[in-house]
Homo-oligomer: A and B are copies of this chain.
Amino acid sequence: MPGASHLELLTGNRLVALGALDAGCRFFSGYPITPSSEIYQTMMGELPARGGLALAAPDEITALAYCVGASLTGQKAMTATSGPGWCLMIETVQYAVMTETPVVIAVVQRLGPSTGGATQGAQGDVLLTQYCTSGSYTIPVLAPSNCRECYELTQAAFYWSERLRTPVILLSDKEVGMTSESVNLDSLNRWPVVERKPFSNNSARFRTYACDCLEDPPNFAAVGGRARVVATGSVHDQEGRLRKNAPEVLELLIHLQAKIDAHAAEIVLVEEEPCEDADLLIVSYGISARAGRAATRQLRAEGRRAAFLQIKSLFPVPKREIVRAAAGSKRVLVVEENLTGQYASVLEPIVGSDRLVRVNGIGHMITPGEILDRVETA
């Protein structure tokens, strides 16, 4: 049985690293922190053999700054951290947004706030990762629920990061990242490796932020190459010059959001277990999606008309898919491992407050049993 020989026991963290390598990532910089450290270790160990560079940074600020710098030269770059390190990256991720620099940030969640619990899982960084910019620009956030998805969504993260020239966050968690699963590496789905659209009009002067339209990123020229590149975190015109409220400047800010919005439908990654005439929809993501799916199947086995929706692309919010999946349901349970229902608060205006039911908890993975209990009582 040839295929069987490829089954390996691998953790989610390791598959994030392998996904990055296969996506063409050739630069990694990080500062180790539980529960993300295996990504760091794997990249340190395996990037050199792929011709890449893995760089220990003196702190998280420098780690992301190195990644952004490498990306400005055209490299595909990634860092990995957890909540306490993520906060320190927020200044630089904004610089990446403003300079339209692709970079993938794997955030492996642990229990917060502050240093919290290093070895306790959580899904508490949903809003902290999404609302990390002054101006609240949408940053794609992808959330895997198992090892296979760690690989595939990391690939997706690179795909969208490069295509839209934006930071993309892979939002994993301690349970997904540190649990070993049996994986057939040959069976994993790969995303195409994309390159930024290059600036090639050699007769023209390069203008760093000149867009053909608001919905697409500008053409790319590498820092250090022939063209003069102006990268700035300040508001700027198409040439990268700091100017105040000129219409061109404001248009470029609008563009930062518009390019994400324009591709929002394409970014959508959801997995549905539909049910005709469902009157109950269970929505979840990440580690909790496993419990959500199990609970749904149990309900179905009991003859209930329950559907399930796993959201892999948390942001931009897949509104249409959610509306469609929830159509007809009297109740929509949103299952997540945090205190207040972070993604539920995002879904609330979409599904309506009346039928939305939060299933939350901290300090342990939410179990199918807990969900079933809420189905009975909510």
Q: Residue A116 contacts which of B110, B114, B131, B134 (CB distance < 8 angstroms)?
A: B134
Q: Size range of the interface on A?
A: 35 or more
Bound: A253/B137 CA distance, A: 30
Would A113 and B127 count as touching, CB distance under 8 A?
A: no
Complex-state Cα separation, A134 to B132, whole angstroms: 12
Q: How far is the CA of A119 from the CA of B131 in the complex (A)?
A: 23
A362 to chain B, nearest CB (A): 6
A146 at the interface (CB under 8 A from B): no
The answer to whether A135 and B339 touch across the interface, beta carbons within 8 angstroms, is yes
User: Which listed residue, B56, B113, B234, touches A137 by the CB 8 Å rule?
Assistant: B113
From known contacts A98-B116, A233-B116, A364-B245, infer whether A131 and B135 are also in contact, taking CB-CB under 8 Å: no
Q: How far is the CA of A234 from the CA of B249 in the complex (A)?
A: 39
Q: How many angstroms from the CA of A362 to the CA of B250 in the assembled complex?
A: 7
Please report which residues of chain A, range 266-287, place their CB below 8 angstroms from some CB of chain B when the two chains form the complex: none
| Minimum C-beta distance from A60 to chain B (A) | 9
Q: Are A112 and B87 in contact (CB under 8 A)?
A: no
Task: State whether the Cβ of A345 lies closer than 8 Å to any Cβ in chain B.
Answer: yes
Partner of A257, one of B87, B97, B339: B339
Tell whether, in the assembled complex, residue B235 and residue A116 are in contact, meaning their CB atoms are under 8 Å apart: yes
Pairwise interchain contact B114-A233, C-beta atoms closer than 8 A: yes
A141 to B: closest C-beta gap in Å: 13
The smallest beta-carbon distance between A247 and chain B, in angstroms, is: 9
Contact (A127, B122) CB under 8 Å given A113-B94, A114-B234: no
Q: Which of A57-110 contact B (CB under 8 A)?
A: 58, 62, 65, 69, 83-84, 86-88, 90-91, 94-95, 97-99, 109-110
A2 located at the interface, meaning its Cβ lies under 8 Å from any Cβ of chain B in the complex:
no
Cβ of A117 < 8 Å from any Cβ of B? yes
A125 at the interface (CB under 8 A from B): yes
A36 at interface by CB-CB < 8 Å? no
A53 within 8 A of B: yes
Max chain B Cβ within 10 angstroms of own Cβ: one of A53, A131, A249: A131
Tell me if A184 counts as interface (CB < 8 A to partner B).
no
**Cβ of B114 and Cβ of A98 under 8 Å apart?**
yes
A91 touches B87 (CB 8 A): yes
A131 to B137, Cβ gap below 8 A? no
Interfacial chain B residues near A58, Cβ < 8 Å? 58, 62, 65
**Contact B120 A245, beta carbon cutoff 8 Å:** yes
Q: A124 on the interface (CB 8 Å rule)?
A: yes
Residues of B within 8 A of A128 (CB): 131-134, 136
A91 partner, pick from B88, B95, B99, B245, beta carbons under 8 A: B88
Nearest CB of chain B from residue A131's CB, rounded to whole Å: 4
Contacts of A303 in B (CB 8 A): none
Binding site for B on A (CB under 8 A): 53, 55-56, 58, 62, 65, 69, 83-84, 86-88, 90-91, 94-95, 97-99, 109-120, 122, 124-128, 130-138, 232-235, 244-245, 249-250, 253-254, 256-257, 338-340, 342, 345, 348-350, 352-353, 362-364
